[in-house]
Amino acid sequence: MPDLKLLREELEQNIGKREEMRAKNPGKTMPTEIAGEFQSLTERSIAIQTLIEVESQKEADKLLSDQKSWYEDPHYAFPRGFEGNGESEDLKRLVKAGWEVKNGILYAPTSMGTMQEMYPEDVVYGPLPSGPSEKEARRYAELTRATFRPEYRSAFINWLKNFPFGDSRAFSMLEISEQKALSEGVDASGGYTVPPDVQAELGGRRALSSVMRGLATVRQTNRDVWSQPMVAPHATAADRNIYSDGFQGAWVGETPTQADVDVTFEMFTIPIRKVRVKTTLSNDLLADSVVNLLSELTMRGARNLAQVEDKGFIAGSGVANEPLGILNHALALTLTSSDGMAVDVEGSVANTISNSVSAAGSAPLIKAMAYQLPSQYAENATWLMRRVIQGDIAGLVDASGRPFWNSYLESGFARPALQIEGAPVRNSEHMGNDGAVSTTAATIPLLLADFREFYIIERTGFSVRILNERYADTDQTGLIIFERVGGGLWNYDAFRTGVIAA
């Protein structure tokens, strides 16, 4: 079976070669030899595009088939008797269904063959939280435990089967016992909580589509606000990047007093916010199979949740329910010479990442940016930028016209991932672009960081609502997916931004 990645890379190279040949030979005609090569590249590109379409459809069909088999595999079904009260017995039942527990966190299997991080153990079994300040945590644990019971999953699936009839009618068509079970999974937004196995699939596919989740530190919580004491940045700017991971140090005597170590603590707080994505589905699609709807939830829904998250964590404004994204940090536009995060990367053409053979432009500035990151963060550093900006950097050349960072092997179509000064490059269209002096997140084109110092805190649990009446005249049904998550920058010293300085 052809490799889709290699096919796309070959197509990209062919397009690049054709553009280069056209640029070197403008006009209506080309020399015969070049025209023959141009035609061969064109024909091969058309053939590759057809292959990509065919193989993409095969891949999508296989994903759907694998997912359907996984949903229907009785091995992953929760055994009857799971009540969330007896820790040892409930854990045995979960392990039998393919779950794992590591460091107090439960992980669920997915159709992709991966294990998805889900809940802290105490959310699923053991004593329920108690006390006036634990009401929200208790409600979350009760709701989660209700969704683990086999009767809940059965009621949820039967409700989905009647999805096109609308929420109230779909609910009324359930048996009384199913209505009772499903009612226990209603969350604060009025939606029905997705059963844990479907949640694991949704979370796993969201992680595949998310840039930030693959780089940041992800933790679970059962509260609406996650707080942790942290050490404030060192008062002396020169000492600030010596320390990491929330600690500061000093030389002290055998019996130090508090005054011997000048450490100031502050609270690092991340509010858990609600994220939603919405789509409309054909009622014909819904009538075919419940698996079709589950696939919409766990494939397309996951991809869109990932995009909304990435936009918030990278460039969120910090207002209107958005988290404060990295590019909107108070020091993101402040140059490092002033104890900030920013490095000027403006090239030989004003307000752009650029250069020419005669002018080094952005290349030495980007190199300098790579070495502005403190050494304790360099080993795990990653570049983040738009794909078009990556193309601009790949086009930077030295005085002999050779690329500073060669993104292709000398022969063949296998292309290694671009690295800049040893750090890999990832792409996100939520990064800024060049073309103007950097004054906002939208004009910050580069980010280099140990992204583990950015925290994503989530309260595991997705819920869905349906909108039937609103789209009745188009024979469609609306679907809304909710999740609860927050994010925040734990240590700004592990981040450097590349900006276009005034």
Give the structural domain span for 376. Answer: 210-250+259-273+309-502
Residues 410 and 328 in one domain: yes
Residue 467 forms beta bridges with which residues? 478
Query: In whole angstroms, what is the distance from residue 369 CA to residue 346 CA?
Result: 12
Q: Cβ of 125: how many Cβ atoms within 10 Å?
A: 24
Domain boundary among 27, 45, 72: 72
Query: In whole angstroms, what is the distance from residue 93 CA to residue 74 CA?
Result: 13
Burial of 475: CB neighbours in 10 Å, binned 0-12, 13-18, 19+: exposed
Residues 289 and 401 in one domain: no
The pLDDT value recorded for residue 54 is 75
Query: In whole angstroms, what is the distance from residue 318 CA to residue 321 CA?
Result: 7
Q: What is the pTM of this model?
A: 0.80
Query: In whole angstroms, what is the distance from residue 296 CA to residue 60 CA?
Result: 12
Residues 279 and 268 in one domain: no
Residues 68 and 137 in one domain: no
Query: In whole angstroms, what is the distance from residue 130 CA to residue 54 CA?
Result: 56
**What are the start-end ranges of the H helices in 231-325?**
283-288, 290-295, 301-315
Q: Is residue 392 part of a domain?
A: yes
What one-character-per-residue DSSP string does 410-478 give? SSSS--PPPEETTEEEEE-TTS--SSS---SGGG--EEEE-GGGEEEEE----EEEEE-GGGGGGTEEE
From first to last of its 502 residues, the chain has per-residue pLDDT tens of: 567 677 777 777 777 777 777 777 776 677 887 888 888 888 888 888 888 877 776 766 666 566 566 556 655 555 555 666 666 778 888 888 889 999 889 999 888 888 999 998 888 888 888 888 788 888 898 899 889 888 888 888 888 777 767 677 788 888 899 899 999 888 877 788 988 888 888 898 888 889 999 999 999 888 888 888 776 666 666 555 555 555 666 777 776 565 545 556 678 899 999 999 888 877 776 666 666 677 767 778 888 999 999 999 999 999 888 999 999 999 999 998 878 899 999 999 999 999 888 888 999 999 999 999 988 899 999 999 999 999 899 888 888 777 887 654 443 444 556 789 989 999 999 999 999 999 999 999 999 999 999 999 999 888 888 776 666 677 777 888 899 999 999 888 899 999 999 7
Asked whether the beta carbons of 212 and 487 are under 8 A apart, the reply is yes
Q: Which helix (H) or strand (E) holds 325?
A: none
Asked whether the beta carbons of 185 and 156 are under 8 A apart, the reply is yes
The pLDDT value recorded for residue 398 is 82
Query: In whole angstroms, what is the distance from residue 412 CA to residue 214 CA?
Result: 30
Residues 368 and 442 in one domain: yes
Domain count for the chain, please give it. Answer: 3
Residues 356 and 443 in one domain: yes
Q: Is residue 36 part of a domain?
A: yes
Residues 284 and 168 in one domain: yes
Residues 390 and 457 in one domain: yes
Q: Is residue 77 part of a domain?
A: no
Q: Is residue 386 part of a domain?
A: yes
Q: Is residue 316 part of a domain?
A: yes
Residues 233 and 196 in one domain: no
Residues 61 and 166 in one domain: no
Q: What is the 3-state composition of the chain as percent helix, strand, coil, each rounded to the nearest 5? A: 45, 20, 35
- 307, two tokens: 């995009």
Domain boundary among 53, 72, 91: 72
Residues 221 and 171 in one domain: no
Residues 65 and 109 in one domain: no
